[in-house]
Structure 1
Amino acid sequence: MTLRAAVDLQAEQPLLSVQDLKIRIQMDNGEMKAVDGVDFEIKKGKTLGLVGESGCGKSLTSRAIISINPKECETSGKIVYHSASEKSLNQLDLLSLHPRSKQIRTIRGRKIAMIFQEPMTAFSPMYTIGNQIMESILIHRTKNKKEAKKIALEMLGKVGISDQEKRFHQYPHEFSGGMRQRAMISMALSCNPELLIADEPTTALDVTIQAQVMELMKGLQKELGMAILLVTHDLGIIAEMCDEVAVMYLGKIVEQSTVSEIFNNPKHPYTKGLLSSMPRLAGNRHTRLESIEGTVPMAIDMPPMCGFYERCKDRMEGVCNASAVPKTRISDNHMVRCFLYKEEGEEKTDV
């Protein structure tokens, strides 16, 4: 294959393709289906938002991409990473690699980097911030310590941390929450990754710092041309940052489409419930926000049925609780798991 053909083929393919991802955890009272048949694609230079309630499987899904889930997680399916070299186009199934193999360690941090949910626990308290940023650079980019330090200082400046030389020698506890998050971003981006996984990157931050971190990530994405998988429960951040959205519930993606389609034309009752619970500036301040009644069931030894059945206002007895819900593609870029819709997008009225 010529270089031009490889480039053309790469342009048509996603950077990362997750296919039928399943994660099982053996519990004392049965088998937990933590992630149950997840499929999505991440395109080069684009942002995919993975949204849902706590415990729906978002973090396990994102961590499976770089093989850092606990050993108790039994993982199956495919996670195909597409990368182009000068001579050929490579397609690599990341799940086929041993978590400690040299090949996955070459990709983890270098090609695919991750911002963790709580930087205070992600950084080691025993080493300086600069030392920890340099470690990744020394492994993946250069063996020269002077050059590695120069790159680390440049990255600290790029994420908006002033007086980089002083901050380089400080420990994580000497940084504020916002600064730790910025330092985490600088460490993740220090090797110019093709894909950045951001797992709840603004959860522990106040609103002002959240906005700054989001603007920072958007600016660096544009500058470096990387793709982003943004894991969050905040629909406001999804609206601001993402090109596409995948809505997760109980280990499954129940709806997936573009941001505009999800916000303007939601189909799944769960997606509608999430959007209805958002406060709006134009709304009546005396009107109570809607809520989704009930709680998320435990995904242990569940029968084949809709996981949202007990909480759904549109549930159909003998249909939604009688069999597993298939994926329905109601348009070229809109998928939903719900018995209310046919493949053509028409609502079922004969049930």
Structure 2
Amino acid sequence: MTAHASPSEQPLLSVQDLRIRIQMDNGELNAVDGVDFEIRKGKTLGLVGESGCGKSLTSRAIISINPKECETTGTIVYQSSSEKELNSLNLLSLDSRSKQIRSIRGRKIAMIFQEPMTAFSPMYTIGNQIMESILIHRTKNKKEAKQIALEMLSKVGISDQEKRFDQYPHEFSGGMRQRAMISMALSCNPELLIADEPTTALDVTIQAQVLELMKGLQKEFGMAILLVTHDLGIIAEMCDEVAVMYLGKIVEQSTVKEIFNNPKHPYTKGLLRSMPRMGSNKTKRLESIEGTVPIATNMPPMCGFYERCNDRIEGVCNMQAVPKTQIAENHMVRCFLYQDKNEGD
């Protein structure tokens, strides 16, 4: 972020050198290791990678809801686009239980959680849980809060809202619960929506409906989206930019078009090769990336993808930490194969 940029030019959210460490019995786990990215108003950034790469911890750090065992450092600068709130705020400098972060969490930055089947409390009705956020952040008038909740249920395509308002989560299907969760997240018109695997538990038909719903609501409200997923098909449909994450680091970042047409990191290439494609040979097996994501405990300075990489350079990739290389204006890769393109940092 430039020092003299106007508010309209500044990113809505800027994450710099985010690190999350967890003390384990067998050493220190570097779950997130120096992550940088920016999200601008009205744009969608996709955070993609396999399970265990640190995507969910990164997204949850933004609103300070990670477990207390997580030692988090770095900066997460939130720049409200509201004319009344032009001052930048480092969210990591706030206590996770402070009034200030609670005024942002749910109101300015909302989150759709990964598992719709367990995100709602079984003890309260769907309407009651949606109203709770509205009563905290928008109005103290219960009648007005209920009307807003009913309108949001309608916006996400839930019919017979009066009836559904008084039903409990177990009376909703998985797709309806996901829609209700989206309505709760958007009930306070947030500037940033964090969607953590928002379609994981849904069938293909409902998944497509939910994605179309999110795009429509983004256009209507002008919000930014951080989309966390392992599905590159969803990334291609939803995102403007992509950050590919592996073992706690962003290993490649660029626009969606550039990542899909000109991938550079061997991990990104492997992810793309594992995608089914229209018109491909039906008898040919999909390629896969051999091995699994290692556990980032007491790791020496080396490329975390070294053991699984077919393009590794012996004596280089396994001997030192990999610097970032800017191979184009909007294309960063963390790989020794491209270090001669630029000095890196």
Tell me which interval the TM-score lies in, with the shorter structure as reference length. Answer: over 0.9
Contact 1:256 1:262 in 2 (8 A): yes
Candidates 58, 61, 80, aligned match of 2:58: 61
Contact 1:330 1:343 in 2 (8 A): no
Structure 1 gap ranges (5+): 1-7, 347-351
Candidates 119, 124, 127, aligned match of 2:124: 127
Counterpart for residue 13 of structure 1: 10
Letter in 1 for 2:184: M
Candidates 60, 64, 70, aligned match of 2:67: 70
Contact 2:12 2:81 in 1 (8 A): no
For 2:317 and 2:8, the matched residues in 1 are separated by 39
Candidates 173, 180, 187, aligned match of 1:176: 173
Question: Equivalent residue of 1:325, what SS?
Answer: coil
Question: Equivalent residue of 1:211, what SS?
Answer: helix
For 2:6 and 2:195, the matched residues in 1 are separated by 27
Contact 1:49 1:230 in 2 (8 A): yes
Candidates 144, 147, 150, aligned match of 1:150: 147
- Is residue 2:265 matched to residue 1:268? yes
For 2:224 and 2:333, the matched residues in 1 are separated by 24
**Under a length normalisation based on structure 1, what TM-score does the superposition of the two structures give?**
0.95
- Is residue 2:20 matched to residue 1:29? no
For 1:195 and 1:202, the matched residues in 2 are separated by 18
Which moved further from structure 2: 279-288 or 100-109?
Answer: 279-288
Displacement of 1:72 = 0.3
Counterpart for residue 290 of structure 1: 287
Displacement of 1:11 = 1.7
Contact 1:177 1:205 in 2 (8 A): yes
Displacement of 1:343 = 6.1
Listed one character per residue, the Cα deviations across residues 148-176 of structure 1 (whole Å, up to 9, x for unaligned) are 00000000000000000000000000000
Displacement of 1:333 = 0.3
Counterpart for residue 254 of structure 2: 257
1:1-351 superposed matches below 5 A: 9-86=6-83, 89-342=86-339, 344=341
Displacement of 1:342 = 3.1
Query: Percent sequence identity over matched residues?
Result: 87
Contact 1:293 1:311 in 2 (8 A): yes
Change (3 A) 1:86 1:227: closer
Contact 2:192 2:225 in 1 (8 A): yes
Change (3 A) 1:169 1:343: farther
Contact 1:329 1:343 in 2 (8 A): no
Change (3 A) 1:233 1:86: closer
Q: How many residues align?
A: 339
Structure 2 gap ranges (5+): none
